[in-house]
Amino acid sequence: MKEIKVGICGWGNVATGLYKAVNANKKIIERNTNLDIKINFIGARRDNPNCDPQGALVLRDIFDVVSQDIDVVIELIGGVETARELILSAINNKKHVITANKAVIFNHGDELFKAARDNNVKILFEAAVCAGTPIIKVLQEELAGNNISKISGMLNGTTNFILAEMEKGEDFEPTLKIAQEKGYAEPDPSFDIDGIDAAHKIGILSHIAHGTPLPPKDFYIEGITQITGDDFQHAKELGYVIKHLAVAKQDFNAVELRAHPAFIKNTSILSSLQGVRNGIEIDTDLIGKIHITGSGAGQESTASGLISDIIHLAGSNKDRAEEISNSSNEIEIAEFSQISFQHYFYLEVDDNPGVMALITSLVAGHNIGIETIIQKDELADNLVPVFFITDLCEELQAKEILNKFKNTDVIKKVKRIRVEAD
């Protein structure tokens, strides 16, 4: 039986979840892989009452782990800068690295991957993106012979849960509170609800699929805090649902890289994804569209991704560096203002003659048509809600229309949400 010696840095929920999973599934792992995973060292500044690391030597300085007689360092301390220092220290000590830390890969990926290649070691990070949804190795191995034109999906379970509950008629704030009570959202949820977590994930996936740099520049990120229940009702009337989408789309030598709320057709596979699950759609040239869904968070899901990387490392040629995509100087990030979308506009307007004609003329002034327009019953204060979806137009044009609406006296409220093409 093959043995792989492991040192874990960090002793929080993710680390203890990994420790418990390795021990609980030890016989299954040995039967399926002929591999004995030995957790020999744990770097922990303090004990964790939820887990007794029997059989492992606990080192209070996490940096001491990297110099021990082990094959791989598993970085689970979180954060960015200290994690970067730890990973570089492990690499310089000729240790392979496995991490679940998407933020450090996103912010320092180019530097870390180069260091790994220079030292002929591997960095594996399956659990860093969507945890239990096996997307990294799918892109690196199973789809390595495909030209991938687009990756899109819901990459953050917290925002998907919130939006799915709001679709049922719930408001944002109470739904966020429920997500926090269930452990789906942190006490400070900004990383999730502001779109940063999803942005990190799609940036990493784009690096693998398209060779975009880490970190990427000119990256458009928008969260879900401005979405309301009315938006969901209007979306339903128009044949759409609202999801927070992360997208990497290649067009010639430029890649659209963005994370934001979007209307998507209610007939799409991604539209039906509920709860905290992740859903990813990949457009390929050889096998068409494929879809991957799975759990995106939690001890068990993350442990599954980490164990997958340990097994992959043990079964690979450990004397050869991982072939990780290099960033290319030829790949540019597309200018967001020049990307084309259809757009959903919601307006509250004075109930006066000629207002509808004014709205259509302001849109038509940019040579943009309106696909569908709906006027609803009067609100308070003699205001009428109007919402519509435009034809395809550049982001810059839509922003100009938005500003004209805001500067028109008879239009009192304006909102816009992008519509994602099939």
Domain with 163 in it: what CATH number? 3.30.360.10
- Domain boundary pick from 279, 295, 311: 295
CA angle 365, 367, 370 (to 5 degrees): 95
Find out whether 38 and 5 touch, Cβ atoms under 8 Å: yes
**Same domain as 70, residue 183:** no
* 400 domain residue, yes or no: yes
**Same domain as 399, residue 274:** no
**Same domain as 84, residue 155:** no
**Same domain as 414, residue 373:** yes
Cα–chain center distance at 363: 33
Give the Cα separation of 120 and 141 in Å (integer): 19
Q: How far, in Å, are 56, 172, 339, 362, 392 from residue 367 at the CA level?
A: 68, 36, 16, 9, 11
**Same domain as 255, residue 346:** no
| Residue in 241, 243, 223 with CA at minimum distance from that of residue 233 | 241
**Same domain as 155, residue 117:** no
Tokens matching residue 23 = 């021990």
Tokens matching residue 85 = 């220092």
For 249-264, how does the pLDDT look when each residue is reduced to its tens digit (9 = 90+)?
998 879 999 999 999 9
* 317 domain residue, yes or no: no
Give the Cα separation of 206 and 262 in Å (integer): 19
**Same domain as 191, residue 64:** no
Give me the DSSP letters along 142-176.
ITTTS-EEEEEEE--HHHHHHHHHHHTT--HHHHH
Provide the residue range defining the domain that includes 231: 136-295
pLDDT at residue number 2: 94
- Which residue blocks in 6-101 are alpha helix, DSSP H? 13-24, 26-33, 81-92
- Domain containing residue 62: CATH number: 3.40.50.720
Q: Domain count of the chain?
A: 3
**Same domain as 201, residue 260:** yes
- Domain boundary pick from 229, 263, 295: 295
Calculate the dihedral angle through the C-alpha atoms of 25, 28, 33, 35, rounding to the nearest 10 degrees: 50
Find out whether 134 and 294 touch, Cβ atoms under 8 Å: yes
Residues with pLDDT less than 50, the chain: none
* 309 domain residue, yes or no: no
pLDDT at residue number 297: 64
pLDDT at residue number 261: 98
**Long-range CB contacts (within 8 A, 24+) of 293-296:** 293/133, 294/130, 294/132, 294/133, 294/134, 295/131, 295/132, 295/133, 295/157, 296/130, 296/131, 296/132, 296/133, 296/155, 296/156, 296/157
CA angle 349, 350, 356 (to 5 degrees): 65
Give the Cα separation of 388 and 375 in Å (integer): 9
Find out whether 16 and 300 touch, Cβ atoms under 8 Å: no
| Strand partners of residue 220 | 258
Give the Cα separation of 416 and 308 in Å (integer): 42
**Same domain as 371, residue 258:** no
3-state secondary structure of 195: coil
Catalytic residues: 201
pLDDT at residue number 380: 82
* 381 domain residue, yes or no: yes
Give the Cα separation of 398 and 420 in Å (integer): 14
The b/e string for 168-203 (b: 16+ C-beta within 10 A; e otherwise) is: eebebeebbeebeeeebbeeebebbbbbbbbbbbbb
Q: What is the pTM of this model?
A: 0.93
**Same domain as 65, residue 151:** no
- Domain boundary pick from 268, 295, 322: 295
E strands, 198-239, are 220-221
The count of other CB atoms within 10 Å of the CB of residue 343 is 25
Tokens matching residue 151 = 């990756």
Give the Cα separation of 374 and 388 in Å (integer): 6
**Same domain as 161, residue 119:** no
* 197 domain residue, yes or no: yes
Angular region, 301: left φ>0, alpha ψ -120 to 50, beta rest: alpha
**Same domain as 144, residue 104:** no
Amino acid letter, 298: G
- Domain containing residue 348: CATH number: 3.30.70.260
